[in-house]
Amino acid sequence: MRLRGKNFLIIGRAGMDLYPDPPGTRTEDATQFFTCLGGSSANIGVAITKLGGRASLVTRVADDAIGRFCCNQLDHYGIDRTHVHAQGGEARNSLAVVETRIEDHQSVIYRNGAADFEMTIADVEAVDYAAFDALITTGTVFAAEPSRSAAFRAFELAKAAGLPLIFDVDYRPYSWPSAEVAAGVYSRAGAMCDVIVGNDVEFGFMAGDYDQGLEKARDLVANGGTIAVYKMGEEGAVTIIRDAEVRTGIYRTEALKPTGAGDSFMGGFVSGLADGLSVTDAVLQGSAAAAMVVARVGCAPAMPSRAELDAFMKKHPAPTSPGDLA
């Protein structure tokens, strides 16, 4: 699969991350914190811009100091926020307190009255989809209304404009009213998309049976999708295209924390597709980016630059199984 360019439209949240400082500190023992941009969609945008692409975000942020912090951070990373709107009232930005530690790691997420769930159909209808090369969304946008209807409307408009739809399943149970609702909505969204990326638990959840996750990924490609990436943590990934599959391993690294891998993988992967890499090489680039981020403090600031990622991949041999995809 080749993307026609490097200009990505991303739908989903931007938030604030707080990391107990220095690294290794437990949250309950912390007296100071390192603060940075958070939210999976915003983080993917950072990953893309640091690798030389362009990213525009569609979301809502709180009309308060935290919302303005997020906007300032988007500006810092060069992410276009023409379609980032302030939401007044009681809406609040997503806030995450994330420890830089592996053992007994704690991540505490605050999502009550989330501002990004207030994104409307009017917000997505204001976008000129023809100006972009692909649409990326993460699963959280579908967890509540009016964001859910707005995201599906964006899918319709993007498809009408000829954009490939790229879906990061990103299942967060705490955002959903029930597992049954989530499974149905995710299956509907996945069936509309060209590229679906998720882990074994997420695909299993979509299938209604955790043992059938890989079959669900295969089924999505067989019924209209172009690529499904079935991630298995330390066991690597199975990438499925029509009539072919390939298994890749992971890049070994000294991890400081378990978070940020999914966002960095997506950024590295889609950037690879936009640069004309084979599907396998794009997956490996995403895997390398993920390995780098878990070994650094933060998520957005930990995303590698093009020079850093190239140097890492040159130094570390590709952990791939025999076979390749075009």
- Tens of pLDDT, residue by residue over 147-202, are 999 999 999 999 999 999 999 999 998 899 998 999 999 999 999 999 999 999 99
DSSP code at position 275: T
| Residues with pLDDT less than 50, the chain | 322-326
pLDDT in tens, 106-123: 999 999 999 999 999 999
Domains of the chain, earliest start first:
7-315 (3.40.1190.20)
Q: What are phi and psi of 249, to 5 degrees?
A: -95, -165
**Two structure tokens written together for 93:** 């930005």
- Close Cβ partners of 235 (under 8 Å, ≥ 6 residues apart): 249, 250
Query: What is the predicted pLDDT for the residue at 325?
Result: 46
Question: Residue 201 CB: number of other CB atoms within 10 A?
Answer: 15
- What pTM did the predictor assign? 0.96
Burial 250-289 (b: 16+ CB within 10 A, else e): bbebeebbebbbbbbbbbbbbbbbbbebbbbbbbbbbbbb
Q: Which two tokens stand for residue 221?
A: 């490609």
Q: What is the CA radius of gyration of the chain?
A: 18
β-strand pairing of 94-98 with 15-20:
parallel
